[in-house]
Amino acid sequence: MNDSSAAPTTGVLLAGGAGTRLGLGPKALLPFRGQTLVEVLARTLLDGGCLKVVVVLGAGAEDVRRGTDLGGYLVVDNPEWASGMASSFRTGVAAATPSHNVLVALVDQPGMTPAVVARLLAAHQPGRVTAAGYPDTVYKGSNSTNLRRGHPLIIDATLRADVAESAVGDAGARRFLKAHPGLVDVVDCSDLADGADVDTKDKLHLLSD
């Protein structure tokens, strides 16, 4: 369980991509549950237990600002969004309260729920990274217990600078996590979500729930 003396957590929602493969404009503006994806998922981070939420915008930032109500969150723009997710990752981590742990989530994962966020917060241990785990589709066996590491993930306050420094291209925390597997705790969230991304039009059904 989470140590009561542990640092509080700022949620960072990465919403800067152009959604090129999907072809419907910024994913942040996709309709979901009567609002937009970015509005619903930012609220999810708060409802799950994050003390504050940073929303990182990039492609179509002005359209997203005009088309949403994000007044309850710290909204920051990443002018270098086209260089890859790492720049948005670094922007979000830098904007979070310096003493806080950071929980990083992606705007194209509509299955994220407050329960997923709360489970990760409860499991996080100081000095470590805590990531949601989902069934690894590479392993087809019915008895497989393999989990793939996914989002959201919590980066401890003591690791923020090192993780951000390692982020390049389209990889956020990936390089750091691969280099330091002993620091990573994967928490099974498969009973709560599947970690699926809305990357292509055949995944739009994920927004109908």
pLDDT in the model for residue 201: 65
Tell me the pLDDT tens digit for each residue of 124-139: 999 999 999 998 764 4
Residue 191 confidence (pLDDT) above 80: yes
Structural domain spans, the chain: 9-208
Tokens 């999907």 correspond to 22
**10 Å Cβ neighbour count for 34?**
7
CB 17 within 8 A of CB 26: yes
Cα(155)–Cα(10) distance, integer angstroms: 10
Average pLDDT, the chain: 86
Tell me the pLDDT tens digit for each residue of 14-44: 998 766 565 556 788 898 888 999 999 999 9
pLDDT in the model for residue 174: 85
Name which of 134, 130, 133, 50 is nearest 92 in CA terms.
Answer: 50
pLDDT in the model for residue 23: 52
Rounded to two decimals, the pTM is 0.89
Token code pair at residue 72: 């309850």
Residue 79 confidence (pLDDT) above 70: yes
pLDDT in the model for residue 2: 44
Residue 84 confidence (pLDDT) above 60: yes
9-208: CATH topology:
Spore Coat Polysaccharide Biosynthesis Protein SpsA; Chain A (3.90.550)
Question: What's the DSSP call for residue 82?
Answer: G
Name which of 135, 114, 146 is nearest 195 in CA terms.
Answer: 135
> Among 2-16, 59-73, 75-89, 145-159, which stretch is predicted with the lowest mean pLDDT?
2-16
Confidence of residue 60 (pLDDT cuts 50, 70, 90): confident
Tokens 């503006």 correspond to 29
Name which of 8, 15, 48 is nearest 156 in CA terms.
Answer: 8
Cα(135)–Cα(97) distance, integer angstroms: 33
